[in-house]
Amino acid sequence: MNRKRLILLAIVVVLAICISIAFHYWNKAQQEKEAADRDLRNKYGYTAGSLHLDVDTSEYEQTGDFHDIELTPTDLTYDLLQRWESITEVIPTIDYPKEAVEKEDWLKVFSTLADNRFEAMDVSKEITKGNEDEATTDSMAILDYLYKGIVYNDYFREFLEDNGIEGPDQRD
């Protein structure tokens, strides 16, 4: 009788351990999936915000499939793309994803824009470097121009005008 109980107890313990291990791996897989979903959701959010895209999640809310999130370009998107393309014509070290834009692969477009960030900052510093006694260096000049169409730095404005990207400054 004791032997039967001991065997039964051993079987119960082994089953409990197996169930615990299975639950642990299932829970870990769920956490990894949730983290991946959160990262992808953030990427869509950053993409939409950075590229001024409209977002339609109505189909995604029904399916839960991120491919069902619809990103639609706005006039601000097209303005940003036009400025970006103009900049890359005179600064070839900054990439413009023409094929991704044509395919409206907005995640890839955003990825390219993000990859260009440090190059744009380095080039901005060079363009906005004034005389030695002036504190004019602006590492964000190109990015501010791409994202918002704003030019804060006179040296950068002169660069844009000299390269035919922007017309002469109309400020008084």
pLDDT at 136: 60
> Domain check: are 77 and 6 in the same one?
no
* Largest Cα–Cα separation, the chain: 103
> Domain check: are 77 and 158 in the same one?
yes
Q: What is the pLDDT of residues 151-167, one digit of tens each?
A: 888 889 999 999 988 76
Strand partners, 71: 55
Per the domain annotation, does 170 fall within a domain? no
pLDDT at 167: 66
CB-hemisphere CA count at 13 Å for 151? 19
| CA 93/CA 116 separation, integer angstroms | 9
Number of folded domains in the chain? 2
> Domain check: are 99 and 158 in the same one?
yes
Q: What is the pLDDT of residues 114-136, one digit of tens each?
A: 999 999 999 998 888 875 656 56
- Percentage of the chain exceeding pLDDT 70: 91
- Percentage of the chain exceeding pLDDT 90: 46
Confidence grade of residue 65 (pLDDT, cut at 50, 70, 90): confident
Confidence grade of residue 172 (pLDDT, cut at 50, 70, 90): very low
Q: Hey, is 70 helix, strand or coil?
A: strand
Q: Hey, is 56 helix, strand or coil?
A: strand
Per the domain annotation, does 37 fall within a domain? yes
- Whole-prediction pTM value? 0.76
> Domain check: are 133 and 86 in the same one?
yes
> Domain check: are 60 and 81 in the same one?
no
pLDDT at 171: 47
Q: What domain range includes position 128?
A: 73-162
Q: What is the pLDDT of residues 9-56, one digit of tens each?
A: 888 888 888 888 888 888 888 888 888 888 888 899 999 999 999 999
pLDDT at 36: 80
